[in-house]
Amino acid sequence: MPGRNHLFVPGPTNVPDRVLRAMHVAMEDHRSSKFPELPLGLFSELKKVFKTRDGQPFIFPATGTGGWEAAIVNTRSPGDKMLACRFGQFSHLWIDLAQRQGLDVQVLEVEWGEGAPPERIHEALAADKNHEIKGVMVVHNETATGVTSDVGAVRKAIDAAKHPALLYVDSVSGLGSLDFRMDEWGVDLAVTGSQKGLMLPAGLGIVCASQKALGQRAAAKCHRVFFDFGDMITANAGGYFPYTPALPMLYGLRESLTILHEEGLENVFARHHRLAEGTRRAVKAWGLELCAKAPQWYSDTVSAIMVPPGFNGADVIDTAYRRYNLALGAGLARVAGKLFRIGHLGDLNELMLAGALVGAEMAMRDVGIQVTPGSGVAAAEEYWRSTAAPLPPKGGAAPADAQKAAEAKQARAKVGA
């Protein structure tokens, strides 16, 4: 099919050309005296994205699932009690992984479309007088339902119960797109993957561990070899890895972190919010509902859009793919067929997303869903135009100028100017 495939699954996301070029490298000796400058730079830049001072990032040649496993096996023993909330396929899979590692997971079942309930977490922890629960597991952004949880509120619930449990957070589809405050929220183990907000191919599982979490390694009896933090800590100290690193991924990561910092993290978050809000306006104009039950749960990285009763979301997705070269995200597990998802994260702007909205609209009409032609993109367009940044000067703005302009606009919006 001519033209580009429009990739709007919520990961993998579009890899910027700059990152692709940065990954196009000859192999080199990863034990040379020059090599450490690459990983050491990555560790310090990653800490800025996690917003941590004392946390320690680990980069595994893996995926988000590997990151889940690393977080668990380095800090826990079989039989340990955990508290976890299940409200979508990814929170389910993480619970499943912990159970298969022999952990005893107390599951709080939450309606799909809602996020982590701080009050129920508080209640469960307050009832755990002997502090048998060793960790609380929360998925920051449930990609299956387009729901973002308030991790800060979960931390407050843990503190209010005066409970020492570690806080384990999956931000696989959040980090680098949504604000993440490891230190402020007291996150002990933060997990992500490379193929979403970090704008890389899949291939890295990244975990950031607090000093408190690292302190529990010695007592943790889960088996670990490949994912052992200990081997990583020893090798990483000098800027090396305990095994052969995925070199192109590391060069790509360096470039993607540079891109994020050039735009400015706060601007990245604001851009994701604008793109997501435009999508939500489109969904409303179509007369459809999100899977997320209320605005407090709306995700700025993925919208899961319910199809009307009698229609199958998989038909919309298949039509969009085969007829319009547009990849939309599928409904998973319990919501299979009931929805389709638009991923709006990573290297993305309004016009790219407008293409996806038009494609989704055409595919919906093709399968018989009654939506007014052009209604979705018109609603998104109205919103995006009304919230657009000031016009950059002719000749294009330097990134720093664009950032200053965006900050000034945000400041003006805050004071109501």
What stretches of 141-281 adopt beta strand conformation (E)? 141-142, 147-148, 166-170, 189-193, 205-209
Q: Indicate the residue among 11 and 278 with the shorter CB distance to ligand PLP.
A: 11
Q: Indicate the residue among 153 and 202 with the shorter CB distance to ligand PLP.
A: 202
Nearest to 193 by CA among 24, 12, 9, 8: 12
Candidate list 8, 11, 280, 360; residue touching ligand PLP; CB under 6 A = 11
Candidate list 139, 161, 209, 253; residue touching ligand PLP; CB under 6 A = 139
| 90 belongs to the binding site for ligand PLP (CB under 6 A) | yes
Interface segment toward ligand PLP; rule CB under 6 A; list 51-59, 135-143, 208-216, 312-320: 135-143
CB of residue 162 to ligand PLP, shortest distance in Å: 29
Interface segment toward ligand PLP; rule CB under 6 A; list 61-69, 96-104, 124-132, 346-354: 61-69
Interface segment toward ligand PLP; rule CB under 6 A; list 62-70, 101-109, 180-188, 328-336: 62-70
Which residue shows structure tokens 């052969």?
Answer: 244
CB of residue 103 to ligand PLP, shortest distance in Å: 17
Closest residue to bound ligand PLP by CB: 64
User: CA–CA distance from 119 to each of 122, 154, 282, 298 (Å)?
Assistant: 5, 8, 33, 19
Q: Indicate the residue among 205 and 239 with the shorter CB distance to ligand PLP.
A: 205
| 202 belongs to the binding site for ligand PLP (CB under 6 A) | yes
CB of residue 390 to ligand PLP, shortest distance in Å: 35
What sign results for the dihedral spanned by CA atoms 51, 56, 60, 66?
negative
CB of residue 332 to ligand PLP, shortest distance in Å: 9
| 193 belongs to the binding site for ligand PLP (CB under 6 A) | yes
CB of residue 25 to ligand PLP, shortest distance in Å: 23
| 173 belongs to the binding site for ligand PLP (CB under 6 A) | yes
Cα 199 to Cα 205: distance, rounded to the nearest angstrom: 13
Nearest to 190 by CA among 88, 315, 51, 79: 51
| Residue 302, SS3 per DSSP | strand
Site string for ligand PLP, 259-288 (x = CB under 6 A): ------------------------------
Mind spelling out the 3-state secondary structure of 113-130?
Answer: CECCCHHHHHHHHHHCCC
CB of residue 72 to ligand PLP, shortest distance in Å: 13
Candidate list 143, 148, 299, 319; residue touching ligand PLP; CB under 6 A = 143
Length of the chain, please? Answer: 417
Identify residues 219-248 at the interface with ligand PLP (CB under 6 A).
none
Cα 45 to Cα 235: distance, rounded to the nearest angstrom: 18
Number of residues that bind ligand PLP (CB under 6 A): 13
CB of residue 29 to ligand PLP, shortest distance in Å: 29
Candidate list 18, 43, 63, 152; residue touching ligand PLP; CB under 6 A = 63
Candidate list 18, 38, 43, 65; residue touching ligand PLP; CB under 6 A = 65
Q: Beta strand pairing status for 326-328 and 81-86?
A: unpaired
User: CA–CA distance from 362 to each of 315, 331, 339 (Å)?
Assistant: 12, 19, 16
Nearest to 325 by CA among 353, 365, 360: 360
Residues 6+ apart with CB under 8 A from 245: 30, 39, 59, 61
Q: Indicate the residue among 63 and 325 with the shorter CB distance to ligand PLP.
A: 63
Interface segment toward ligand PLP; rule CB under 6 A; list 59-67, 233-241, 351-359, 368-376: 59-67
User: CA–CA distance from 221 to each of 47, 84, 216, 224 (Å)?
Assistant: 28, 20, 10, 9
Interface segment toward ligand PLP; rule CB under 6 A; list 43-51, 165-173, 209-217, 372-380: 165-173
Q: Does the bond joining 12 to the residue before it have cis omega, within 30 degrees of 0?
A: yes
Contact by Cβ (8 Å): 72, 64 = no
User: What backbone torsions phi and psi does residue 188 show, to the nearest 5 degrees?
Assistant: -95, -35
Cα 218 to Cα 327: distance, rounded to the nearest angstrom: 45
Q: Indicate the residue among 40 and 202 with the shorter CB distance to ligand PLP.
A: 202
Q: Binding residues for ligand PLP, per CB under 6 A?
A: 11, 63-65, 90, 139, 141, 143, 170, 172-173, 193, 202
